[in-house]
Structure formats: C-alpha cells, structure tokens
Amino acid sequence: MTRFSQLLSACALGVMLGLVGTASAADSLLIRNATVHTLTSEARPGTDVLIRDGRIVEIGRGLAAPSGVRVIDAQGRPVTPGIFAGLSRIGLEEIGLESTTGDHAQRLGQMRPEFDVSLAYNPAAMSVGVHRSNGLTFTVLTPGAASGGSLIAGLGAPVSLDGSVILPQRILFVDLGGDANDLSGGSRAAQFMLLRQAIVEARAPNLVMVHDERLLSPSGRQVLLDFLKNPGLIVFDVDRAADIRNVIRLVREEKLRAVIRGGSEAWRIARELAAAQIPVILDPLVNLPDSFDDLGATLENAARLRKGGVTVAISLRGSEVDDAGKARQAAGNAVAHGLPWADGLAAITRVPAEIFGIGDRFGSLAIGRTADLVMWSGDPLEVSSAALLVLTNGTVQSLDSRHSALRDRYAERVRTGTAR
C-alpha cells in the first residue's frame, strides 16, 4: 500500500468514527480502549480517557460514559500528547521564496533583542491548519538571523496551533558559529566579544559610551537585562563542539539559562553538557556535513547525547515551515539509530514542553489538564501513520486543510478519469 493510499484509508476511518469535521467549542468525549502514552508513565494499553468540557477528568480502564458524552472506540490505537512542531516559522512565513510573506528576521543593522516575532504571527496562515491536521499542536515561533541583522536574532514565543493562543513566555535566540560570521565582522571569536559587550551594556545602563559604540537601544538593554536578572531562557544556535564549549563557559560565568539548538557535534561533549544541565534541540536527520561546523555530524547524535545524560528534544532545520511536519519521522529516525522509543516520543512532546516552560498544558496527559492529544492510526513514529483525532485547547479540531482539499480534488479527477 502506498503512503497516499494509507492516508486515504486513515481519513476514511476518521469519517467512519465521526472525527473529521470542523472544530467546535470545548468538547466532551470518552476515548475507549486506547494505548495511552501519558508521557508521565509507561504506555497503558486498553485504557480509556474521559474528557469533559475540554479537560481530562479521568484516565483508566472500564470508565463509565456520562450522559451526553460521545464515545469513540480507539480499537487499541495509540493516543499521545500533541506533537511539537519544533522551532519554526509557522504563521510567520507563507512562501519561502516570496520575501513579502516572511516576517521572521530583521535587517536593521543593529543588535535588537527586543525584536519580537510573535507580533507578526498570523493564526490564519495556511501552514497552521496543515500542521495541526497532522497532529502537531504547539510550536515555538523562532526569529532568524539574516544578512544585515545581528547575532541576537530576537524574541520567540510558544504558541498553540489551535489558531488563537500565543503564550506569555518569551525566549531569546542567538546565532553563533561559521554561518554567523558575516554578523560579527568575519570571526566567531568576535561573536563572544560582542555578546559580552551587550551583557555589560545591559547591566550598566549608565555606562559612559559614545553613542556609535553602543550595541543596544534603550529598549534592547531593558529586554536583555530582564533575561539576565530573571534569568530567561536563551537558545544558542550552534553546532561545532568548540563553540558549544564557549557557550557553556559563557552560561556558567554569566549565570544564564541556555539551550543548544542544532548541536551537530554536541555528542562530542555530552558529559560537559549534562554537567551544565543544558538541553540540546537537534535535528536527527543531519548526517553528512554541509559546513566545517558539522564535520562531526552523525545520525547517532540523539542516542549518544541521551546515553551521556543530556536532555534531548527534536526540531528539524532548513525549512522551518514545511519541514516542521516531519517531526515524527525525525524522531523515528533517531530511534532507528539507537535512541529508545520512549525517548523518541518524549523528544517531540514532553521534553520540549518542559524546556520552554509550558509543560503544564502541553507534552503530557494528566487529569485536570486541558486536553491536547492525538489519536493515531498506528505507531506515531512511523511516517505511514496518520492523525485520526486531534484536540487542542480542549477542542476537537478539523482534519481538513489546504493539503487535504488538494488531495481530494485531484483524487476525484483520477477516480472519474478527468485528470489532466
């Protein structure tokens, strides 16, 4: 059976179960006989999940169905928390090759940590519905460094892909390594010099300097100072082991909270990262190096880091809009190269939610929480599996999207022999 026919079969099953349709208000339903992956304990086969008014009120076996609650027989299928769409540009960019649709980067020629990409988020963007229909329920909006920008790319934010909720947490993004050399005068050594100067400016706002020597605007100094005092979470996009060591040193000396994004060579210094309690958000599909920063890239990166005691989450790099949908494939690939299956699922659910401080509403299933979950046609880490039921923010979501509309349109033409 082809991937296309498998998806058609899955959608047909969704229609049969009454799961495909438009989103409604907070829902009440009982999912019976599922293999429930709460991500707080081992998988629980033959388990029911009762949801009332959008909240999980009970998880167990043989639950009674209250009056008026819709009952869905999962027939043993997996139920998991919603999937993390990664550090993405979902809702910030429609078409990668059309610059007028992209709002993820600034080119002001100045270090602007106050640049907050969430202000440009479009919950009605086509990509939001497409990824949600595939079981991805939350993401972190991510600014990017661009030529004419700065090492400090700006602020990102977690967002629910139900099309409405931007969460209050803000995350600062910093780009380092060879790819950022054009933002630091041509040398990665200057990157850390500039970061330290920015920290000095933020902590000493009355420091006497010639205006042209300042890196930060007044609002930028305040934003960075808030991250230093609280401290807030800073994501360092960096791959080379030597550069990651410099980040670890900076984090220790300045008492920062940090996450490594990318980390192609992070496995080389797993013990140091574990000792510093710095998580790594990696792309497990990165294998062959595409730069001198990636010479140590390996498909076993995730497995080696976990074995070394490092917290690992997964997010694809490259097209942070289209490729976000490959999160499950990436996790499955990491599992195929040594990462335990449970850690693979956690890397795209519970772990990223906890890293970004939103583990109270995403990433795991627990009584009392707003329902954010997916029922799958098969193993969620297999690309041939499809989402049959998606709840975000306690509401059953439509499985219709621009992609499914195009699929149905051309499938009908093939069926009737009118395809051109």
Q: What is the pLDDT of residues 375-398, one digit of tens each?
A: 999 999 999 999 999 999 889 999
Residues 201-214, mean pLDDT to the nearest whole number: 75
Q: How far is the CA of 311 from the CAs of 224, 271, 275, 334, in angstroms?
A: 26, 11, 11, 14
* Residues 182/172, Cβ–Cβ less than 8 Å: no
The first and second tokens of residue 178, run together, are 């060879």
pLDDT of 185 reads: 86
Q: Which residue reads 């994004």 in tokens?
A: 261
Euclidean distance between CA atoms 58 and 359, whole angstroms: 19
Q: What is the mean pLDDT of residues 97-106?
A: 70
- Token output for 7: 């998806």
Decide if pLDDT at 74 tops 60.
yes
Residue 8: pLDDT over 50: no
Pairing between strand 152-160 and 171-175? antiparallel
Q: Residue 263 is encoded by which pair of tokens?
A: 């980390």
Q: How confident is the model at residue 101 (pLDDT cuts 50, 70, 90)?
A: low
DSSP state of 322: G
* Proportion of the chain above pLDDT 70, given as a percent: 89
Phi, psi of 126 (to 5 degrees): -55, -40
In three state form, how does the secondary structure of 50-70 look?
EEECCEEEEEECCCCCCCCCE
Q: Indicate the pTM of the whole model.
A: 0.90
Our CA angle for 312, 285, 362, nearest 5°, is 40
Whether 22 has a pLDDT exceeding 60, the answer reads no
The residue among 181 and 351 whose pLDDT is bigger is: 351
Q: In the structure encoding, which two tokens stand for residue 158, read together?
A: 């977690």
Q: Check residue 209 and give its pLDDT.
A: 63
pLDDT of residue 165: 67
The alpha carbon torsion through 90, 92, 97, 101 (nearest 10 deg) reads: 140
Lowest mean pLDDT among 2-16, 18-32, 124-138, 231-245: 2-16
Give pLDDT, residue 212. Answer: 65
Output b/e per residue, 208-236; b: 16+ Cβ within 10 A.
Answer: eeeeeebbbeeebbebbbebbeeebbbbb
**Of 133, 205, 196, the residue nearest 162 (C-alpha):** 133
pLDDT band at 3 (very low <50, low <70, confident <90, very high): very low
pLDDT for the residue 387: 96
Q: What percent of the chain has pLDDT over 90?
A: 68
Which residue segments constitute the domains of the chain, with CATH numbers given? 3-81+370-416 (2.30.40.10), 84-355 (3.20.20.140)
CA 293, 299, 304, 305: dihedral to nearest 10 degrees? 60
Report the side by side order of strands in the sheet with 83-88.
Answer: 83-88, 136-141, 152-160, 171-175, 233-238, 257-262, 280-282, 312-314
pLDDT of residue 248: 98
- Over 60: is that where the pLDDT of 9 sits? no
Neighbours of 176 (CB within 10 A): 29
pLDDT attached to residue 44: 95
Asked whether residue 7 carries a pLDDT value surpassing 50, the answer given is no
Question: Could you tell me whether strands 373-376 and 78-81 are parallel, antiparallel, or unpaired per DSSP bridges?
Answer: antiparallel
4 pLDDT higher than 70: no
The residue ranking higher by pLDDT, 239 or 406, is: 239
With a CB cutoff of 8 Å and minimum separation 6, the contacts of 177 are: 188, 191, 237, 238, 239, 240, 243, 293
Q: How confident is the model at residue 317 (pLDDT cuts 50, 70, 90)?
A: confident
What's the chain's average pLDDT? 88
Choose the weakest-confidence range: 187-191, 377-381, 392-396, 407-411.
407-411
pLDDT of 167 > 80? The answer is yes
Neighbours of 98 (CB within 10 A): 9
Q: Which residues pair with 56 in a beta bridge?
A: 51
Q: What is the dihedral of CA 4, 394, 368, 83, to 10 degrees?
A: 30
Which residue from 272, 259, 378, 267 is spatially nearest to 313, judged by alpha carbons? 259
Average pLDDT of the residues in 95-119: 79
Kindly provide the residue ranges of all beta strands, DSSP E only, lying in 98-188, ordered along the sequence. Answer: 136-141, 152-160, 171-175
Mean pLDDT on 128-148? 89
